[in-house]
Amino acid sequence: MDEYVLSKLRENLSGEVSVEHDDIDAMSTDASIFRVTPEAVAKPKDVEDLKTLVRNVNNLVSEGKNVSLTPRAAGTCMSGGSLTQSVIVDMKQPGFSWVDEVDAESSSVWVGSGTYHRDLAAKVAERKLLFAPYTSSKDLCVIGGMVGNNASGEKSIRYGATVDNVLAIRMVCSDGEEYEFGSLNEDQLREKLSYDGFEGDLYRQLNELVENNYDTVQSARPDVRKNSAGYGIWRLKNKNTGEFNIAKLVVGAQGTLGFVTAAKLRLVELREYKRMLVVPIENLSRLASAVQLAVSQQPDGIETYDHHTYKLAQEYLPEDAEAAKVADGQHMVLIVQFSEHTKDQTDHHLQLCEKAFKKAGYNPHVVTDPREIEAHWSIRRASFGLLLAHPLPNTMAVPFLEDTIVSIEHYGEFLAAVETILQDYDMTYTYAGHIGDGSIRLIPLVNMEEPDAADKIFELMRRVADLVFAFGGSMSVDHNDGLIRSAFLPRMYGEDVYQIFKQVKTIFDPKNIFNPGKKIGGNIAYSKEHMKRENKAPEALVGRDARHFS
């Protein structure tokens, strides 16, 4: 980065803009398969500092300089969403890391976007409350990253994804000012439409866009419980209720529309009593009906892991595998967990579910031993970590098919078709996931040092993505588009809807200063060029428990 640009970035900034090698190198990778080296790392101290940084970049772009800002939190993104060749903005600064007092009346809390999930969880647990998006990376991830990716997790079948648990946000927009966005009724929207300046323009343009394209947008929405692909513009306006909520559009936008500085989160009561039912699945033809049956019993979560994962556990987690030996010899198992406020309620749900499975010809296994419960969760969460830590020679675990979702009634058929495709590539893989939502985490082993590795990855992605689209699903549940999937958005939604997405981006970010190349402008050639060509675990995972990224 030339000295003039660097000096302009630092102008009136209290925080730091670093070009030190260690800072640059640390920000050149995340939990994905990409390496992109930034020119600088900005560390704004607080919201005012971030506003100054955005204004400085605006001025530089107006001068013809090619500068942009990409938010970065804990580096746990598996799609390359936090990587850029321009300026990384490290949001883990004290001015963005805070938890307000819980509003007992609404069971909500304002949280700084740089706050670790674990710190939020510890504070609200004192009130016996929980932020429901309970991701595998919950001990490592940051709230801003969860908002950007629309993260979900183990409890999403009951409580939904992040977008279902965010009530409002504060965001620094492209004019360098911070605004609060939340639910508006029709009268409140009319007032916003009358405003002068950036905020009024934003509401007017978005309202016009959604009004002119309402049916097109609604029909483009994938028929699945969760989706993070593209922009969730169908969530912006509800014509039945009159609600208009920009926050619902920003969640999942991966930092491409502005910088989220804080979020008002919905909290739920902790349910202290837990019971588990493990259902062996001998073949995929019985999977969909088993999941549908489990969903009908209102569990807290439904997870799965497969025989590949269990075999790895037998070798590398032998005590867990022995405790979870009901999975031995099965194609996969369902983990159905119930959690209620009383022991009687929890036992009642468990018993009804067990009877329903037996009546349907399954062989459910009630788990009462705490050690066995722990073992099943350990294996499930370790699926990616086991492949990552113990790949076959000359391979590495590569997340690029790990975020698909289709409706559960199609899931057995879908997985059988995926396995047929994978046979053409002679790959070892595992799958696990939040199966109650129709989500699966499929992680193949790939020799990244082969000359055609990148071509093979994107060819396989295209084939599986087309299969997902044929079933009316989505290619991204909660890991988002990033560098790995953005280029497939026109294929998923069609060119008309993609053009609407481009208009959303332009309305918020006319100079394209926020995380360019994600969502809009995805380029397969660029992604291939920046794909790591070594059989080495992502630096973001080195020294960490890789189970946090399953």
Mean pLDDT of 360-373: 94
Q: What is the model's pLDDT at position 543?
A: 45
SS3 letters for 130-151?
ECCCCCCCCCCCEHHHHHHHCC
pLDDT at 430: 84
CA distance linking residue 244 with residue 266, whole number of Å:
18
Left, alpha or beta for 197 (phi > 0: left; psi -120 to 50: alpha)?
left
How confident is the model at residue 5, as a pLDDT? 97
Q: Which residues contact 136 (CB under 8 A, 6 or more apart)?
A: 153, 154, 381, 547, 548, 549, 550
- What's the pLDDT tens digit per position in 22-55? 999 999 999 999 999 999 999 999 999 999 999 9
In the chain, list all ranges with CATH 3.30.465.10: 95-268
Query: If pLDDT is split at 50, 70 and 90, which confidence band does 408 have?
Result: confident
* pLDDT reported for residue 547: 47
- CATH 3.40.462.10 location in the chain: 272-480+544-550
Q: Round to whole Å and give the CA distance between 302 and 432.
A: 11
CATH architecture type of domain 95-268: 2-Layer Sandwich (3.30)
What DSSP designation does 301 have?
E
The pLDDT of 110-130, averaged and rounded, is 96
Report yes or no: 275 and 350 within 8 Å, Cβ to Cβ: yes
Question: How confident is the model at residue 544, as a pLDDT?
Answer: 46
For range 399-424, the mean pLDDT: 90
Query: Which has the closest alpha carbon to 264: 166, 124, 117, 183?
Result: 166
Supply the pLDDT for residue 541. 56
**How many other C-beta atoms lie within 10 A of the C-beta of residue 237?**
23
Residue partners of 323: CB distance under 8 A and separation at least 6 = 369, 371, 372, 374, 375
Look at residue 409 in the predicted model and tell me its pLDDT. 82
Residue 429, pLDDT score: 85
Give helix 370-381 / helix 307-316 axis angle, nearest 10°. 110
Please, what is the end-to-end C-alpha distance for the chain in angstroms?
36
In this predicted model, what pLDDT tens digit does every residue of 135-158 receive, in sequence order? Answer: 877 888 999 999 999 999 888 999
β 87-90/40-43 pair status = parallel
Residue 495 burial (CB count, 10 A): 9
Residue 109 β-bridge partners: 265
Does residue 518 carry a pLDDT above 60?
A: yes
Which residue, chain included where needed, has tokens 């409706």?
407
Alpha helices (runs of H) in 251-317, residue ranges in sequence order: 287-295, 307-316
For 480, the token pair is 């988002």
Q: What is the pLDDT of residues 264-294, one digit of tens each?
A: 999 999 998 999 999 999 988 888 899 999 9
Identify the DSSP state of 391.
P
pLDDT in tens, 156-186: 999 999 999 999 999 999 999 999 999 999 9
What was the pLDDT predicted at 221?
Answer: 94
Superfamily of domain 272-480+544-550 in CATH is FAD-linked oxidases, C-terminal domain (3.40.462.10)
Over residues 203-231, mean pLDDT: 96
- Better-scored residue on pLDDT, 516 or 440: 516
Per-residue pLDDT, 537: 73
Identify the pLDDT of residue 539.
Answer: 58
- What distance in Å separates the CA atoms of residue 43 and residue 52, rounded to the nearest whole number? 12
pLDDT at 272: 87
Average the pLDDT over each of 101-115, 191-205, 351-365, 416-430 and give the range with the smallest value: 416-430
- Average pLDDT of the residues of the chain: 93
As given in the structure block, the two tokens for residue 244 are 């208009």
What is the gyration radius of the CA atoms in the chain, in angstroms? 23
Residue 9 confidence (pLDDT) above 50:
yes
Identify which of 72, 69, 75 has the alpha carbon closest to the alpha carbon of residue 51. 69
Residues 446 and 459 sit within 8 Å (Cβ to Cβ): no
Q: 51 near 178, Cβ under 8 Å?
A: yes
What's the rounded Cα separation, in Å, for the pair 462 and 397? Answer: 19
pTM over 0.85: yes
Fill in the amino acid letter for 99.
V
pLDDT at 545 over 50: no
For residue 171, give the 3-state DSSP assignment.
strand
pLDDT, average across residues 249-277: 96
Q: Is the pLDDT of residue 410 over 90?
A: no
Is the pLDDT at 540 greater than 70? The verdict is no
Q: Give me 147's structure tokens.
A: 């908002």
